[in-house]
């Protein structure tokens, strides 16, 4: 018999706790086992109720959610879904929480403007994240280790420099994986374009935090419309438009396309991979990392048919084996590798 997912709620707002409780109570396969208004109450609740997952408010009295998350991950690692405000300050704290090991985040509905539509969006996101925890690989690995200091040593061409560019898709668990890959770069690389599923308000913070980890010869930036792609540059989709690549003369350029969501996302990895597949006279590499859903599978399949090298993060390595699984089952993945092996591919000497 499949056990219900046991959910703990940690939030200083009684209203938010009530909303989360109601959503969980109405969802088959999960139940609330405890609530707490601050981290000190939460510590006792976790000891007494042993939840499978907790929702954790970012800003709380007595100890903020980030400090508490760090303690949890050291003393009692467990899946944590952060509940944060969609503000610039909230963006920075949320990204730090994902770096500390939170599995995902959801945007908190505005206390001053809670209506039927905002509750519907919040409820749908909450159920999706909690269901994701059921199928996650959280217990299989701890936090990924990345280099704390920027590499400034000698740089030689990597074997992957043969590719015109590399496209990467990632979602749940992706930020931690991008941090690992980027902090471990030791070689000169072709342009890399990344679609990471995250709210657009967080993108600039993500860019800045990845740049802090990148070696001295690598530039991380948000992609801008029609800019020429440069070696040793990593371009992040702004997630207000779809990211594509087009050829103008002898140069490749980033194109940002206003279009409806695809597979539930703007930006969608399918748009990126399909745009590369359309340039069938050039060599490319496509990579799909941890994430929910099937975004990228169709585009990567097209890319592989055009002769590109295609890699997927394997099940053991993924936090959520969703996107790579969908791509593998579609025949889009040439080779499934661990994150460490993908990093080794990027750093293989020419």
The catalytic position among 11, 52, 57, 197 is 197
Residues 94-100: contacts with CB under 8 Å, at least 24 apart:
94/58, 94/202, 95/175, 95/202, 95/205, 95/206, 95/209, 96/66, 97/56, 97/58, 97/65, 97/66, 97/69, 98/175, 98/176, 99/175, 99/176, 99/179, 99/209, 100/66, 100/69, 100/70, 100/73, 100/143
3-state secondary structure of 339: helix
171 among known catalytic residues: yes
Q: Which of 123, 136, 170, 171 is catalytic?
A: 171
Helix (H, G, I), strand (E, B) or coil at 171: coil
Peptide bond into 160 cis (omega under 30): no
Instruction: Mark whether 38 is an active-site residue.
Output: no
* Planar angle of CA 137, 138, 143, nearest 5 degrees: 125
Of the residues 170, 233, 295, 317, only one is catalytic, namely 295
**Is 25 an annotated catalytic residue?**
no
Active site residues: 171, 197, 295
């Amino acid at each position: 018999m499949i056990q219900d997912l046991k959910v703990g709620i940690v939030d200083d707002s009684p209203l938010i706790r009530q909303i989360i409780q109601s959503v969980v109570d109405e969802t088959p396969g999960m139940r609330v086992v405890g609530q707490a208004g601050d981290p000190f109450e939460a510590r006792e609740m976790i000891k007494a109720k042993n939840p499978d997952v907790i929702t954790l408010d970012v800003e709380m009295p007595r100890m903020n959610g980030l400090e508490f998350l760090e303690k949890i991950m050291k003393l009692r690692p467990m899946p944590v879904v952060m509940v944060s405000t969609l503000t610039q300050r909230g963006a920075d704290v949320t990204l730090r929480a994902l770096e500390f090991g939170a599995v995902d985040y959801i945007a908190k509905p505005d206390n001053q403007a809670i209506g039927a539509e905002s509750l519907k969006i919040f409820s749908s996101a909450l159920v999706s994240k909690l269901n994701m925890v059921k199928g996650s690989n959280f217990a299989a690995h701890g936090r990924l280790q990345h280099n704390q200091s920027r590499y400034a040593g000698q740089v030689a061409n990597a074997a992957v420099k043969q590719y015109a560019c590399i496209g990467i898709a990632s979602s749940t668990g992706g930020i931690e994986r991008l941090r690992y890959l980027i902090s471990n770069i030791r070689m000169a690389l072709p342009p890399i374009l990344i679609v990471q599923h995250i709210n657009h308000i967080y993108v600039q913070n993500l860019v800045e935090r990845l740049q802090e980890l990148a070696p001295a010869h690598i530039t991380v930036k948000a992609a801008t419309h029609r800019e020429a792609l440069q070696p040793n540059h990593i371009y992040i989709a702004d997630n207000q438009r779809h990211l594509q690549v087009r050829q103008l003369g002898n140069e490749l350029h980033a194109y940002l396309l206003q279009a409806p969501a695809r597979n539930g996302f703007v930006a969608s990895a399918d748009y990126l991979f399909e745009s590369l597949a359309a340039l069938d006279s050039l060599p490319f590499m496509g990579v799909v990392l941890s994430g929910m859903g099937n975004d990228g599978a169709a585009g990567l399949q097209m890319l592989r048919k055009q002769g590109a090298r295609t890699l997927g993060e394997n099940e053991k390595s993924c936090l959520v084996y969703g996107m790579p699984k969908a791509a593998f089952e579609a025949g889009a993945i040439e080779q499934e590798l661990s994150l460490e092996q993908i990093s080794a591919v990027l750093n293989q000497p020419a």
